[in-house]
């Protein structure tokens, strides 16, 4: 904040015209009385008026400073209120918006990058940034370009200021042995500016254990960041970490409710939700939609011969094949139940869906499953049906299921769409 302007009483002409902090007004003369004043008295009167004008000018400057300070305080309060609104949310989208849009405004920063920690790979993965950043979206300990961020995010458990040096940045701790991190990439140095503030995001699970959640870095500030900014930010980093932790818990609960634990595909309940959505979309904006039902051939043999752990391995492998073989964020594979799987294929005509199913069948046949010292051959049968006007979710599933039974009754390890020749909703 700006300092209070230093203007002395003598500069304002206040010494002779204030008594106990109150102004002493000069007498009011009429035109006739002014003409009758001797020159010395008239000069004294004019000097008094001049001093009062200087005093008034000083008072106006002080009031202007107070108004400016009050407006800045109100602006910050409004921003804090907005931040608190976002922190009440438990979804990642709102938290990312807070990190990228709201906090930078509060701290007058023009750059922000928000990362989430991946404990499996021990990397920080970029979720969102306000500007393009150099090379890649993951921050590893040994990364040549973004490795310095890993050190920043794991340096402390509270927000801190970093300041530019000749070839890097140093943590502003007031100590001569403060850690220095080299940042040679000119793009990063431009994004961070002279000073930046780092938010390592974590939450305490016990007195000794910290659960790392992510990191936020703000830079290119319009004003030089100070220790006071770090102190004020301490409240935000705690709230941000708590909200991020809650969002991750909500996401995990949603995944548990919609995802099959074994295959990591959608479960039957979520498949029916996704199928209803796909049907609604194709009815509102007509386009092809196909459904495939897949069944693992002779699955009972794997359980009876090698045990249920072997059967679980076969199911997991099938889930992997489906995830790898289909269009990301378009096709929807799911475990329907037992050894049966389904595939929703939007914008896909029947012959195209049959080709996809055939490709999956060949991939399953060619990929043996290793269980202990055994290499197990797995095959599958698939039935395919295309949406027709008048279809419901139930009738479309029935047609695909009937095609599946035709494939199995014809010798297994094959794809069939024969049931699509039957009228919609007319199956037994």
Catalytic amino acids? 339
**Dihedral sign for Cα atoms in the order 299, 305, 309, 313:** negative
Q: Which tokens belong to 325?
A: 């073989």
Question: Would you put residue 412 in left (φ > 0), alpha (ψ -120 to 50) or beta?
Answer: left
- How far apart are alpha carbons 322 and 364 in whole angstroms? 9
Q: Which tokens belong to 176?
A: 């001569």
The per-residue b/e assignment along 57-72, b for 16 or more CB within 10 angstroms, e otherwise, is ebeeeeeeeeeeeeee
Query: Do the bridges between strand 210-221 and strand 195-204 make them parallel or antiparallel, or are there none, so unpaired?
Result: antiparallel
Query: Do the bridges between strand 380-386 and strand 415-416 make them parallel or antiparallel, or are there none, so unpaired?
Result: parallel
Structural contact between residues 289 and 386, judged by C-beta atoms closer than 8 angstroms: yes
- How far apart are alpha carbons 24 and 86 in whole angstroms? 54
- How far apart are alpha carbons 345 and 333 in whole angstroms? 9
Cβ-proximal residues to 124 (8 Å cutoff; 6+ apart), any chain: 115, 116, 117, 118, 138, 139, 149, 150, 153, 214, 215
Structural contact between residues 346 and 282, judged by C-beta atoms closer than 8 angstroms: yes
Separation of CA 13 from chain center? 58
Instruction: Kindly report the backbone phi and psi dihedral angles of residue 201, in degrees, each rounded to the nearest multiple of 5, phi listed first.
Output: -105, 115
- How far apart are alpha carbons 371 and 316 in whole angstroms? 12
Instruction: Kindly report the backbone phi and psi dihedral angles of residue 198, in degrees, each rounded to the nearest multiple of 5, phi listed first.
Output: -115, 135
């Amino acid at each position: 904040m700006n300092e209070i302007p230093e203007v002395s009483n003598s500069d304002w002409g206040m010494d002779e015209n204030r008594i106990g902090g109150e102004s002493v007004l000069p007498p009011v003369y009429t035109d006739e009385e002014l003409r009758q004043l001797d020159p010395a008295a008239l000069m004294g009167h004019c000097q008094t008026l001049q001093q009062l004008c200087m005093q008034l000018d000083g008072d106006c400057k002080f009031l202007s400073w107070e108004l400016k300070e009050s407006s800045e305080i109100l602006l910050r309060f409004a921003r804090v209120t907005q931040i608190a609104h976002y922190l009440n949310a438990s979804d990642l989208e709102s938290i990312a918006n807070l990190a990228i849009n709201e906090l930078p405004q509060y701290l007058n920063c023009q750059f922000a990058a928000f990362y989430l920690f991946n404990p499996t790979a021990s990397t920080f993965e970029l979720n969102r940034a306000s500007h393009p950043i150099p090379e890649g979206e993951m921050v590893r300990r040994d990364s040549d370009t973004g490795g310095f961020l890993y050190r920043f995010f794991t340096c402390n458990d509270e927000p801190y200021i970093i300041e530019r040096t000749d070839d890097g940045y140093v943590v502003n701790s007031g100590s001569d042995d403060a850690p220095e991190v080299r940042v040679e990439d000119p793009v990063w140095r431009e994004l961070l500016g002279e000073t930046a503030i780092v938010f390592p995001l974590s939450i305490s699970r016990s007195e000794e254990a910290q659960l790392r959640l992510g990191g936020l870095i703000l830079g290119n500030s319009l004003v030089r960041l100070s220790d006071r900014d770090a102190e004020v930010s301490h409240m935000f980093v705690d709230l941000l970490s708590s909200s991020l932790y809650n969002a991750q818990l909500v996401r995990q609960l949603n995944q548990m409710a919609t995802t099959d634990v074994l295959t990591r595909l959608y479960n039957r309940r979520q498949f029916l939700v996704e199928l209803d959505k796909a049907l609604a979309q194709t009815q509102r904006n007509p386009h092809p939609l196909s459904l495939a039902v897949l069944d693992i051939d002779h699955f009972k043999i794997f359980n009876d011969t090698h045990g249920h752990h072997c059967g679980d391995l076969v199911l997991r492998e099938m889930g992997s094949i489906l995830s790898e073989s289909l269009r990301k964020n378009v096709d929807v594979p799911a475990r329907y139940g037992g050894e049966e799987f389904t595939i929703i294929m939007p914008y896909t005509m029947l012959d195209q869906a049959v080709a996809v199913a055939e490709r999956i069948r060949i991939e399953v046949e060619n990929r043996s499953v290793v269980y202990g010292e055994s290499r197990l051959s797995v095959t599958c049968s698939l039935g395919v049906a295309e949406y027709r006007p008048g279809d419901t979710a139930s009738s479309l599933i029935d047609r695909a299921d009937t095609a599946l039974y035709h494939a199995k009754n014809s010798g297994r390890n094959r794809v069939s769409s024969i049931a699509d020749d039957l009228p919609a909703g007319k199956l037994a």
